[in-house]
């Protein structure tokens, strides 16, 4: 599939979830068929000031390519400079965040706040496009709130400024992640521009992906929360889109195997102390729907070393037998 000058296999991309879609998670999702990934969002100003954490977020391995580096900010000059600095990490594209609804981001003019300033948003895209010789993409929402749905106007501005593809999350900023998703607005964007549009919002498996693609006319979807503790969602989506095959959830043993591999990667990349702290939320997601999950989550809150999660995984498998 060719999306905005980027070739990738399959029909599903991994969304750039802050605090979640790090290198370890991206690699695990790619193993299951995520065709395209995006880094966690990185502060343009932080990157320009050589912030260590910002640079760490941009580390990309060959396993997860193609991968875009996502930047956020509200200053065209800083965004352009940050895009140039991001080239050091050899991303396959630069993605501009115009969709994050978090108060910490939107409250400071970045993320979805740019939807309230379409002229500024257009200047930012143009500045980044002029600064780097890579595809520049944009992730956006349908508007700030129900009274201000301006995704079509913003999409046209991004296209005019040189963006090669857009991802549209079918919710407003005010909705955060509350239902419903509005596919008709994603479709309106896809119909209004010539560049590729990726549909985003409540995709969890092959059926939901196919439904959103049919409703929007988009040829690809982006998966976020639907992959938490379920990286095999990409395998399910690709199987259904390509062959009409419904792949069931994996058995408990396989789920625990994937979880352990994921957490080992976390510890390898971030060290055991930090890796195990971050492992707690991921392990809780992997436990969703498992018998005794509530008690297991209490144990997970006390994880400190890799042997702790191995013990829990063994308990889950034994209980399920």
pLDDT digit string (tens) for 96-125?
999 999 999 999 999 999 999 999 999 999
Would you place residue 290 in the very low, low, confident or very high pLDDT band (cuts 50, 70, 90)? confident
Task: Read off the pLDDT of each residue in 291-305 and give the average, rounded to a whole number.
Answer: 86
Active-site residue set: 100
Confidence of residue 209 (pLDDT cuts 50, 70, 90): very high
Coil/strand/helix, residue 229: coil
pLDDT of the residue at 321: 63
For residue 215, name the pLDDT band (cuts at 50, 70, 90). very high
- Which CATH architecture describes the domain 252-320? Orthogonal Bundle (1.10)
Domain spans, the chain: 2-243, 252-320
* Residue 214 buriedness (CB in 10 A; 0-12 / 13-18 / 19+): exposed
Residue with the bigger pLDDT between 313 and 3: it is 313
What mean pLDDT value characterizes the chain? 95
Does residue 190 register a pLDDT over 90? yes
Q: What are phi and psi of 133, to 5 degrees?
A: -100, 55
User: 68 near 38, Cβ under 8 Å?
Assistant: yes
Q: Tell me, rounded to whole angstroms, the distance of Cα 185 from its chain centroid.
A: 20
Q: Which CATH architecture has domain 2-243?
A: Alpha-Beta Barrel (3.20)
- The pLDDT, as a whole number, for residue 5 is 81
Residues in the chain: 321
User: Using 50, 70 and 90 to split pLDDT, how confident is the model at 319?
Assistant: confident
Q: Write down the pLDDT at residue 182.
A: 98
Confidence of residue 298 (pLDDT cuts 50, 70, 90): confident
- Inform me whether the pLDDT recorded for 151 exceeds 70: yes
Mean pLDDT, rounded, for 114-143: 97
- What is the CB-side half-sphere exposure of residue 151 using CA atoms within 13 A? 34
pLDDT digits (tens, 9 = 90+) for 56-101: 999 999 999 999 999 999 999 999 999 999 999 999 999 999 999 9
């Amino acid at each position: 599939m060719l999306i905005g000058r980027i070739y990738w296999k399959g029909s599903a991309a991994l969304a750039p979830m802050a605090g979640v879609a790090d290198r370890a998670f991206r690699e695990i999702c790619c193993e299951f068929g995520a065709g395209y990934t995006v880094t966690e969002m990185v502060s343009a100003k932080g990157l320009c000031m050589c912030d260590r954490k910002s640079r760490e977020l941009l580390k990309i391995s060959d396993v997860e390519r193609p991968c875009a580096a996502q930047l956020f900010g509200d200053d065209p000059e800083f965004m352009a400079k940050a895009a140039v600095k991001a080239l050091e990490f050899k991303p396959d594209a630069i993605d501009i965040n115009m969709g994050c609804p978090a108060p910490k981001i939107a409250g400071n003019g970045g993320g979805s706040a740019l939807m309230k300033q379409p002229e500024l948003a257009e200047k930012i895209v143009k500045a980044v496009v002029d600064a780097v010789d890579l595809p520049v993409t944009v992730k956006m929402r349908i508007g700030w709130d129900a009274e201000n749905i301006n995704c079509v106007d913003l999409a046209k501005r991004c296209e005019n400024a040189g963006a090669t593809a857009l991802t549209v999350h079918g919710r407003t900023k005010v909705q955060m992640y509350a239902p419903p998703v509005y596919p008709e607005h994603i479709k309106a964007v896809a119909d209004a521009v010539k560049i590729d549009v990726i549909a985003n919002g409540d995709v969890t498996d092959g059926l939901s992906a196919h439904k959103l693609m049919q409703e929007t006319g988009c040829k690809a979807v982006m998966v976020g929360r639907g992959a938490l503790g379920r990286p095999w969602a990409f395998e399910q989506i690709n199987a259904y889109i390509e062959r009409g095959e419904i792949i069931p959830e994996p058995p408990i043993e396989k789920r625990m195997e994937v979880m352990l591999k994921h957490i080992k990667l976390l510890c390898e990349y971030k060290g055991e102390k930090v890796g195990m702290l971050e492992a707690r939320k991921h392990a809780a997601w992997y436990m969703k729907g498992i018998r005794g999950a509530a008690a297991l989550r209490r144990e997970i809150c006390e994880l400190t070393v890799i042997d702790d999660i191995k013990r829990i995984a063994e308990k889950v498998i034994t209980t399920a037998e």
